Structure 1
Amino acid sequence: MVKLRNDGHKHLHSEQGARRGEHPGRSTNPLIRVADIAWLEFDKPDLVRAEAFARAFGLGVASSDPRQLVLRGTDAGCPCLIVRPGTHSRFTGVAFRAADEVDVLRLADKVHAPVQPLPEALGGVAVQLTDPSGIAVKVVGGLHELPELPTQSPLLLNTGRKTLRTNATQRPLRAPARVQRLGHVVLQSTTYLATLNWYLDTLGMIVSDFLYFPGQRDRGPTMSFIRCDRGDSPADHHTLALALGPANRYVHSAYQVSDLDALAAGGEYLRDRGYFRSWGIGRHIQGSQLFDYWRDPDGFLVEHFTDGDMFDNTVEPGWAPFTATGLAQWGPPVSRDFLGTTPKHAPQELRSMVSALRDRNEFDLTRLIGLLKVASS
C-alpha cells in the first residue's frame, strides 16, 4: 500500500505549499538515508569552563580528560557534544548517524572515501566528508550505545476539567534542565542551494519547510528546515536547518528537555548563575517547539527546546516568507542578539558581508537586501 504525501498547505504546518517548478525538497535517489544527528564537535581553549556551563545547561559528562570532553543527554545512544582543546573557540563539525554500519560502508564506496574506525570509547566506524560550505561532516555507524540515565518526568497538569493532580502541589526546583538529547543544528552557508542539495542527495534528508526572503520567492528559498527520512517512523521536524548568509558557520544547536517547566526552571538556574539569555521563552512556528536560547561563555548560541513537531516522510515542504516576526507564534520580540545585529556583532557581520559580495557565491547584492529586510521585519 502506497502512502499519499500530504501537501504543505493543507492546514498542516504552513499556509503555503510549493508552486509548480519550485524545489521539491527531496532527492529522487540519495546515496543513503541517515537516521539522526549524532553529535557536534568543538574546539575550546578552556575545557573546565566549558564543562561548568555544560553542567549548568543540563548536559551530563560521559568522559572528561585534558584531551577531550564528551557530553551526553539522558537518552540512551551516543554523545551530544565532543569538545577538544584549541587555541580559540570554533565549531569543527557535525556527525550524523547512519541507519546501520553497512550504510557507512556503502556511502564510503560511492564517494570514494576511506572508512575510519572511531575511538574505542565510541566504537563503530565513520566516513569523513565535507559539505559544499566547507563544514566537516562525519557519517557514523556501529556505535557503542551509552545507557539511559534518569531524566526529569513531565509534570502532571490539571487542564480545564481534566484533573490529573489532586491534593498535591507543583514546586519545580530551579535546577539544571536535564538535557535528553541533541535535536538539531543550524548552519549558515554562502552556497545555500548547492549545500542543501548535497545533504538531500548524499544523506537522504528531506525538507519540512522552506523560507524565502520577502519579495524574492521567484529566486528560490533561502532557508530550509530539514529532517531525516525514516519512512513511516516520525522524525524531528528539523535535524538540520540551513540558511543563506554571508559566512559559512555554525548558528546554533538545540537540546531537548522534558517539558515547559524543565525549560523555564532550568533557564532561571542559568540566569541565577550569570549566563546570558539571548531570546526566549516562546514557541516557534516552523517546528512548533517551545524554545529558550542562551549564550555559552565562548559566545556560541544553544537552545533548550521541548514539544517539537514530528513528521513521517509523507509530509511535503511548506513555504513561508522569512521574517523576524515570523520566527515565533508567541514570546518576547526576537532579540538583536539572536539576529546578530547588536553593536558587538556588527563589525564581524559587516566584514562577512563585504567578503561574501566579493566572492563568487549565492550571496549577491539582491540577497543582501533581502537579508536586511528579514532583520527589520
Structure 2
Amino acid sequence: MEAKSPTTTQDAPDRMHDPPTANSGKTVPAVQAMKGIEHVSPDRWTSAASTPKIRITKLSHMRYRQPASNMDNLVTFLLDFGMEIVKRTENAIWFGGYGIDQYIYYCEIGQEKEFLGGTWEVKTFEDLERAAKLGNSNIVELKDAPGGGRYSLIRNEDNQINFANKSSGQGKLVTIHDPEGFPVNFIHGATPRARPIKQPTEALQVNDEFSKPRKGAFQRFQPGPAAIHKLGHFGLTIHDFELQFRWYTTNFNLVPSDMLYVPDTDGNKVDVAAFLHVDKGKAYSDHHSFFFSVAKDKHVHHSSYEVHDYDSQNMGHYWLKEKGYNPVWGLGRHKLGSQIFDYWWDPNGFMVEHYIDGDLVNEDTPTGRQLAGDESLAVWSEPVPSTFLD
C-alpha cells in the first residue's frame, strides 16, 4: 500500500522552498527601534505652555473607594496579588509593596466602588500650591496615612545646621479634576522609607544554548504571590483626546513616549491614545506612568504594578489562577513600552496588572506615532479580549 504524503495542501512545495523565518528578539537603541515610524515634534506639547509647568517627580499611589460589603474578598485578592497591608483603620486600608514607597494603593471603605484618582508626587510645596490653584481646591494634611515624622535641616545666620520645622511625614494632598471630570491627586512632603523592605534579589543565572554560566547549581522556587515592588502606571479611557492631551501636557511635565491614531473618513490621522512619561530631562524614567485612550465609555482602565522577574510573574499568575480569580489578558509582551504583562480583575471589577521589563526613556528619546490596532498592543500573547478594549 502506497504511503500518503503527510502534507497535501497546494502551498506545501512553496513552503518547502521558502520556510518561515524563525522568531528572534534583540535589544536595540530607541532611535533604531523607531526607525521608519513617524516622529512627533516636541512643539506639540511645549508651544502651548504659557506658564512654568507643575513639576511631577513620580507616580506615588492609587486611590480607590471600595464597598465595605465586599472588603474581605478585596483584601484577600490584593494579598494574593502581591501587596501587603501597611495600615488599617475603620475607614481605610493602605497597601504597600517592598520598595521605598510607604504605600502604593489607598482603599477608602465606603458603600459603592469609585475611582478616586492616581496620585502624583510633586517636587516642591509651591508645585502643590499651584496644583491647588489650578483646580480651585484645598490642600489637606494626610494625618492618618503611613509615614514617620521628620525634621527639616535649617541653617542659621552663623551657617550652623539646626533641626526645625517638624512635619508629619505623611504629606499633604490636593485633589483636582481634569477636563473630563477624572480626579487627579498631588502629594508633597511624604517621607519615603529609608530603604526597600527587601534588598534587591540576585538575578537568576540562565543557561542558553551557547552560554552556560550556571554549572553545578539548580533552579529552585517557592510558590506564592508575585511580590509587588512599586506602582508603575495607570490609565483612563476618555472621549476628547485633544482636550485631555493639552491639559495634561500643558500643565505638567508629562511628555508622550508613543501616540496612536486612526484614519477618519477623509484619510486624516486622528489621535486616539497617548502613553506619557514624567519628563526628567536627561535622567531616564519609565516609558509611561500614565496613558489615556478614546473609548465609548469613560472610566479608569487599569493600574499596573512592577514585580521582580519572569519567573515571579509566572508563579504569581498561576497562584491567582489556582485561587480562582478572574483573568483579563496575559501573559504577553507589549509592543509599546516592551513590558511583559498580566491583567486581572479585582473582586469589584477594577483591572490591575503585573508587569516586568519596561522600557526607559529620556528627553533624547523620540516620540513615535503609529496606527492603532491589535498589532500595536502586543508582540506575543493570546488574542486581545474585547473586554480589555472596552
| TM-score, scaled relative to structure 2 | 0.79
| Residues 100-111 of structure 1: pairs in structure 2 closer than 5 A | 100-109=124-133
Task: Name 2:104's counterpart in structure 1.
Answer: 80
> Which residue of structure 1 aligns with residue 242 of structure 2?
193
CA contact (8 A) 2:45 2:255 kept: yes
Distance 1:239 1:124 in 2: 21
* 1:15–1:320 Cα contact (<8 Å) kept: no
Report which of the two structures shows the higher radius of gyration computed on alpha carbons.
Answer: 2
Confirm or deny that 1:39 pairs with 2:61: yes
Structure 1 match to 2:140: 116
Q: 1:86-105 maps to which residues of 2 (within 5 A)?
A: 86-105=110-129
User: Does the 8 A contact of 1:292 with 1:305 survive in 2?
Assistant: yes
For 1:222-267, what per-residue CA distance to the aligned partner results, in whole angstroms no more than 9, with x for missing partners? 1000000111111110100111122321011110001111110110
Aligned counterpart in structure 1 of residue 175 of structure 2, from 125, 128, 132:
128
Deviations 1:272-308 (A, max 9, x none): 0001221111110010001111111112111110000
Quote the offset at 1:23 in angstroms: 7.2
Conservation of the 8 A alpha-carbon contact between 2:334 and 2:380? yes
Paired amino acid for 2:368: G
Matching of residues 340-355 of structure 1 within 5 Å: 340=390
Cα distance, 1:106 vs. partner? 4.1
2:295 to 230, 245, 253: 245
Q: Gaps spanning 5+ residues in structure 1: where?
A: 1-7, 341-377
Q: Which residue of 2 aligns with 1:360?
A: none
Amino acid at match of 2:376: G
Q: Which amino acid aligns with 2:198?
A: P
2:193 aligned with 1:143 = no
Structure 2, unaligned stretches of length 5 or more? 1-28, 147-169
Report the Cα distance in structure 1 between the residues aligned to 2:304 and 2:353, rounded to whole angstroms: 4
Q: Name 2:44's counterpart in structure 1.
A: 24
TM-superposition CA deviations, 1:15-70 (whole Å, max 9, x none): 412368x9724564542221111111111112222110011000111112331111
Could you tell me whether the CA contact under 8 Å between 1:53 and 1:297 is conserved in 2?
Answer: yes
Equivalent-residue separation in structure 2 for 1:314 and 1:161 (angstroms): 35
Gap change, CA 1:333 and 1:88, over 3 Å in 2? same
1:47 and 1:202 map into 2 onto residues whose CA distance is 36
Amino acid at match of 2:103: P
Deviation at 1:157, TM superposition (A): 1.8
Please name the residue that 2:32 is paired with.
11
Match of 2:384 in 1: 334
Q: Partners in 2 of 1:269 and 1:294 — Cα distance?
A: 12
Matched, 1:182 2:231: yes
Instruction: State the partner residue of 1:225.
Output: 275
State the Cα distance separating 1:314 from its structure 2 match.
1.9
What is the distance in 1 between the residues matched to 2:57 and 2:35?
A: 25
C-alpha distance in 1 between matches for 2:370 and 2:43: 13
Aligned equivalents of 1:56, 1:212: Cα separation in 2: 37
Aligned to 2:321: 271
CA distance in 2, matches of 1:24, 1:292: 32
Q: What letter is aligned with 2:245?
A: L
Paired amino acid for 2:33: L
For 1:195 and 1:78, locate their aligned partners in 2 and report how far apart those are by CA, in whole Å.
30
Give 1:155's aligned residue.
Answer: 204
Asked if the contact 2:63–2:118 (Cα under 8 Å) also holds between the matched residues in 1, the reply is: yes
AA partner of residue 39 (structure 1) = H
Question: Matches of 2:210 and 2:348 in 1, distance apart?
Answer: 47
**What's the counterpart of residue 54 of structure 1?**
78
Residue 191 (structure 1) shift? 2.1
Mapped partners of 1:257, 1:141: distance in 2: 26
- For 2:187 and 2:372, the matched residues in 1 are separated by 33
- The change in CA–CA distance for 1:117 and 1:13 in structure 2 (over 3 A counts) is farther
Q: Distance in 2 between matches of 1:110 and 1:280?
A: 39
Tell me which of 42, 66, 73 is aligned to 2:90.
66
Does the 8 Å contact 2:40/2:369 carry over to 1? no
1:105 CA drift (Å): 3.0
Change beyond 3 A, Cα 1:96–1:214: same
| Identity fraction in percent | 27
Question: How many residues of Structure 1 are paired with residues of Structure 2 in the alignment?
Answer: 332
Counterpart of 2:196 in structure 1: which amino acid? E
Instruction: Provide the secondary structure at the position in 1 that maps to 2:57.
Output: strand
Letter aligned with residue 76 of structure 1: I
Distance 1:196 1:61, change over 3 A: same
CA contact (8 A) 2:66 2:109 kept: yes
Q: In structure 2, how many angstroms separate the alpha carbons of the residues matched to 1:136 and 1:282? A: 30
8 A Cα contact 2:65 2:115, kept in partner: yes
Tell me the equivalent position of 2:10: none
Distance 1:43 1:19, change over 3 A: closer
